[in-house]
């Protein structure tokens, strides 16, 4: 126990650094400890899986140690075992470890049957990933021929997770033209292999050499780079750790900067080792002179949830109906959010603490009613947060250790003594979720959630925003199976006058419907409430609590799938509606929305980033309509459309993670985040998982001059956008953050356009280059940039390092569009050699109206390939032919005009002046 207490003290320092991360990983000298590997509750029980995980980490540690020049190794790992698996004496109760903060998750294969390991990365170069995914088949060694030993693959994924590097291969473009010759996308360039195709017909397969296309010069799409089984090159792990000789990351000396892979695109052509060397981990360590110890493991089994509400009842809670709103939110939590079988207790506090309820196991509605009746109803006295926390520890310890228990702490008051119990909190091992209510809640409140890995939320006094209920609704168990968690479908409020109506719809989709609750609150008197199910049947039976001003309907059985309609009428008061539900099937994961900011503190003028991940199980939900609502302590709410377009703040297109920059600071203090997501006609569940960051699937090996092909990889990437259409509605609380350094209005423009990250270039004919990219804004990805600077070079490094000196393309006629629009620009390069075999590199920079410049875009390339001449053929008069004219009125650029002429047929203009 003593070693864990020391670990908690170290953890607290880490969690106060400002970057928002659920991970408990710590770097102690050179050893990583606090790594959490969780087994998903839906994985069938298999005791061998635990040993396989131990073996993987044990094998990975010395490989990581040598690959990082004796800097890092794996020191300690916790394996989180599902609650339903058979209990054993060596299995301990988790402390701060949960499914939510797991660094590695073992899951069943995705729907496409793909067992490939991968890492979820939602940030940019150098930013930590979210988590690593493995499957039981992979861990059992059944995919070793394709991905290599499990320990080596773990190191590949660890580099994604911990240091924010990217793959050095490219599944979509396996070869590229360089000086007119096809080159494989690989790193380093001295890895040997051959371009081959496997052609199968009638159950028989043969190996063929790859042939270049006569028009483009590129190899066929099904051409594979097949490595030789015997290699001597030591790099690179981010290309293929499967190759036996590979034991290093690519360095600046051997990095292939021209290869069109994610590492070059995301990291500005820098090598993986250069990125790792810039990490905080690297900067605070030195190489070891001794051999690292073998990793140690703790086996933790998820148990029953233990949660204690610690609720402020001080005199300030009488302001603006806060105590009543606490009762409304508490009622939702106890009726719906806290799971069946959990243990729950309650403490209220003012200047002293009062135990309102000892721990009760929730087995029935009567148990929930006992707790609801314990909610405080009178507000008096001062504020002593530490008294409330100490009373909660007492309540929990009467039945269980505080390790791994949860405390939900709500307060609206200032308390300058809160730091006096920080040590007790750290020692307790409890997870503390904080809810700051109103503008005056204790400034140090969030430190409690940061040091324990809890959720921090903020609710303003703007009742119509429903912030307090949203905060309590977000407090589902971090260890519960997704099918058991309460899912919020709707959260809406409105102030009505003169018998006005609040009308709307809620979608109950097929992934929810069980235990569905409609909850209505009001501020003065009960409104008229009308609700109809999808068949048009009016729903009666709302239970009314006039004291706490709340009415609710629990739909019996499974709610009908479809659109539910509601209408509520009132005068001179504010109404809110909250709808929650659960999955009707333990094997069917519901569609969920998980939202967060990239940091828990924002310092002006640094932008924040909003993220919303929409999933059904592991499958991403695409083309949803997603809106973030960010409310400041002043009550001002900013609405942002979040996008999954791979531009601006969004790192990867079509991965189910929707993102946007936030720059609209208006004051210092707390801000809350709420996300609304709607799936309609366009929304769909992707068939497979887009494994953008994962170990490469080796197609085969060349042994003794003969290709030995591996089985074809399951096609999870093809047609992955053609998944089943889904209609749904969700809301999600993304917690809160604190802004500082915000100047008094008017605020000067200090935000440049965001970097263009999706620049693409294609050749038209042998002269013209077609560029396309997503438009940035005036302020990152908002508004409209003032102009673009486009430069070209035959040297990729000169373009990167000496952009200002590179040849500039005339863009006089190019007027930027609104942010997130598609830009297209066609030009003919001039004053630069552009002949057969020439590689030309292009980059774009955006400039705003006050001359703030974006970072230089990713570098796009074109390679001029002139097909060999063939004997001329006599064209039939029925074949269409182009009339091409060049407008040369703008120096340095030619605008291409093509008109296909075919009497009575199509007239198409590709460009005009």
pLDDT at 638: 97
Whole-angstrom Cα distance, residue 399 to residue 344?
A: 11
CA distance 120 to 691: 8
> 622 forms bridges with which residues in the sheet?
684
On the question of pLDDT at 767 being above 90, the answer is: no
Strand partners, 768: 764
The stretch 227-241 carries a mean pLDDT of 96
- At 758 the three-state DSSP class reads coil
- Whether the pLDDT of residue 127 is over 90: the answer is yes
Query: What is the pLDDT of the chain when averaged over all its residues?
Result: 91
- Residue 816 predicted with pLDDT over 60: yes
Q: How far is CA 751 from its chain centroid?
A: 24
Q: To the nearest whole percent, how much of the chain has pLDDT over 70?
A: 91
Tell me if 238 sits within 8 A of 166, measured CB to CB: yes
The reported pLDDT for the residue numbered 682 is 77
Over the stretch 671-728, which tens digit does the pLDDT of each residue have?
999 999 999 877 777 765 555 689 999 999 999 999 999 998 876 544 444 457 789 9
Count how many Cα atoms sit within 13 Å of the Cα of residue 122 in the half-sphere of its side chain. Answer: 24
Name every residue whose Cβ is closer than 8 Å to that of residue 878 and which is 6 or more positions away in sequence.
none
Helices 150-163 & 48-67, crossing angle to 10 degrees?
70
- Among 467-471, 688-692, 823-827, which is the least confidently predicted range? 688-692
> Is residue 771 a contact partner of residue 824, using CB atoms and an 8 Å limit?
yes
Is 490 a known active-site residue? no
pLDDT for position 893: 39
> Which residue among 97, 130, 146, 157 is the active-site one?
157
User: Over the stretch 165-183, which tens digit does the pLDDT of each residue have?
Assistant: 999 999 999 999 999 999 9
pLDDT in tens, 36-64: 999 999 899 999 999 999 999 999 999 99
Nearest to 599, CA basis, from 439, 782, 422, 739: 739
Quote the pTM value: 0.91
């Amino acid at each position: 126990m003593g070693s864990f207490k020391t670990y908690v003290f170290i953890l607290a320092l880490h969690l106060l650094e400002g970057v928002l991360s659920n991970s408990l990983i710590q770097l102690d000298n050179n050893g990583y400890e606090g790594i959490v590997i969780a087994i998903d509750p839906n994985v069938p029980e298999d005791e061998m899986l635990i040993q396989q995980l131990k073996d993987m980490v044990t094998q990975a540690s010395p490989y990581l140690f040598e690959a990082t020049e004796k800097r890092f190794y794996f020191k300690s790992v916790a394996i989180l075992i599902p609650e339903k698996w058979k209990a054993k004496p060596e299995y301990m109760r988790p402390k701060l470890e949960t499914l939510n903060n797991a660094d590695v998750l073992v899951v069943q294969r995705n729907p496409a049957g793909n067992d490939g390991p991968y890492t979820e990365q939602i940030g940019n170069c150098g930013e930590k990933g979210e988590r690593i995914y493995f499957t039981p088949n992979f861990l059992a060694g059944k995919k070793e021929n394709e991905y290599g030993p499990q320990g080596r693959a773990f190191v590949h994924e660890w580099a994604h997770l911990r240091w924010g590097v990217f793959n050095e291969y490219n599944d979509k473009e396996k070869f590229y033209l360089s000086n007119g010759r096809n080159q494989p996308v690989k790193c380093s360039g001295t890895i040997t292999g051959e371009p081959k195709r496997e052609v199968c017909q009638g159950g028989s397969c043969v190996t063929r050499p790859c042939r270049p296309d006569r028009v483009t010069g590129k190899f066929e799409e099904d051409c594979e780079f097949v490595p030789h089984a015997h290699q001597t090159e030591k790099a690179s792990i981010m290309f293929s750790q499967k190759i036996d000789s590979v034991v290093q990351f690519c360095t600046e000396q051997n990095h292939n900067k021209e290869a069109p892979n994610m590492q070059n695109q995301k990291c500005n052509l820098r090598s993986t080792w250069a990125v790792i060397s810039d990490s905080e981990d690297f900067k605070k360590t030195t190489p070891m002179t001794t051999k690292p110890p073998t990793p140690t493991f703790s086996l933790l089994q998820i148990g029953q949830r233990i949660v204690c509400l610690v609720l402020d009842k001080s005199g300030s809670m009488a302001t603006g109906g806060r105590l009543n709103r606490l009762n409304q939110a508490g009622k939702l939590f106890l009726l719906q959010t806290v799971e069946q079988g959990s243990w729950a207790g309650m403490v209220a506090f003012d200047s002293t603490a009062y135990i309102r309820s000892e721990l009760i196991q929730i087995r029935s509605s009567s148990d929930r009613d006992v707790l609801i009746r314990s909610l405080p109803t009178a507000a008096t006295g001062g504020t002593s947060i530490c008294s409330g926390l100490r009373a909660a520890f007492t309540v929990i310890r009467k039945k269980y250790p505080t390790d791994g228990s949860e405390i939900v702490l709500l307060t609206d008051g200032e308390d300058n003594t809160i730091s006096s119990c920080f040590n007790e909190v750290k020692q307790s091992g409890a997870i503390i979720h904080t809810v700051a209510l109103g503008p005056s809640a204790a400034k140090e409140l969030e430190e409690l959630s940061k040091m324990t890995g809890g959720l921090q939320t903020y609710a303003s006094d703007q009742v119509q925003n429903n912030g307090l209920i949203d905060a309590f609704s977000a407090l589902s168990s971090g260890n519960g199976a997704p099918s058991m968690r309460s899912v919020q479908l709707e959260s809406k409020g409105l102030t009505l006058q003169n018998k006005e109506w609040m009308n709307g719809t809620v979608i109950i989709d097929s992934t929810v419907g069980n235990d569905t609750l409609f909850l209505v609150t009001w501020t003065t008197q009960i409104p008229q409430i009308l609700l109809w199910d999808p068949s048009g049947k009016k729903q009666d039976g709302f239970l009314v609590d006039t004291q706490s001003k709340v009415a609710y309907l629990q739909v019996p059985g499974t709610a009908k799938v479809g659109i539910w309609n509601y209408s509520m009428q009132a005068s001179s008061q504010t109404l809110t509606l909250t709808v929650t539900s659960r999955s009707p099937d333990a094997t069917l994961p519901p569609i969920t929305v998980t939202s967060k900011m990239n940091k828990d503190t924002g310092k002006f003028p640094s932008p924040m980033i909003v993220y919303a991940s929409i999933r059904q199980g592991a499958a991403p939900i695409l083309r949803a309509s997603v809106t973030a609502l960010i409310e400041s302590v002043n009550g001002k709410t900013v609405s942002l459309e979040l996008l999954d377009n791979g531009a601006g703040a969004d790192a990867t297109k079509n991965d189910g993670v929707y993102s946007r920059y936030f720059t609209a600071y208006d004051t210092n203090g707390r801000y809350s985040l709420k996300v609304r997501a709607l799936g309609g006609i366009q929304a769909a569940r992707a068939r497979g998982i887009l494994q953008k960051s994962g170990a490469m699937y080796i197609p085969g090996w060349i042994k003794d001059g003969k290709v030995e092909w591996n089985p074809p990889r399951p096609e999870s990437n093809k047609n992955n956008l053609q998944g089943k259409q889904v209609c749904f509605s969700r809301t999600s609380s993304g917690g809160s953050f604190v802004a500082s350094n915000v100047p008094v209005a008017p605020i000067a423009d200090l935000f440049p356009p965001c970097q263009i990250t999706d620049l693409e270039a294609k050749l038209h004919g042998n002269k013209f280059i077609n560029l396309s990219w997503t438009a940035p804004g005036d302020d990152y990805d908002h508004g409209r940039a003032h102009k673009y600077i486009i430069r070209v070079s035959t040297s990729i490094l000169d373009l990167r390092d000496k952009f200002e000196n590179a040849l500039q393309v005339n863009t006089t006629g190019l007027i930027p569009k609104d942010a997130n629009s598609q830009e297209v620009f066609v030009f003919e390069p001039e004053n630069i050699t552009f002949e057969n075999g020439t590689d030309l590199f292009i980059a774009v920079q955006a400039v705003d109206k006050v001359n703030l410049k974006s970072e230089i875009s990713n570098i796009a390339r074109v390679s001029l390939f002139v097909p060999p001449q063939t004997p001329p053929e006599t064209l039939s008069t029925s074949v269409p032919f182009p009339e091409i004219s060049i407008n040369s009125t703008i120096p340095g650029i030619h605008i291409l005009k093509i008109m296909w002429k075919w009497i009575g047929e199509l007239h198409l203009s590709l460009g005009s002046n």
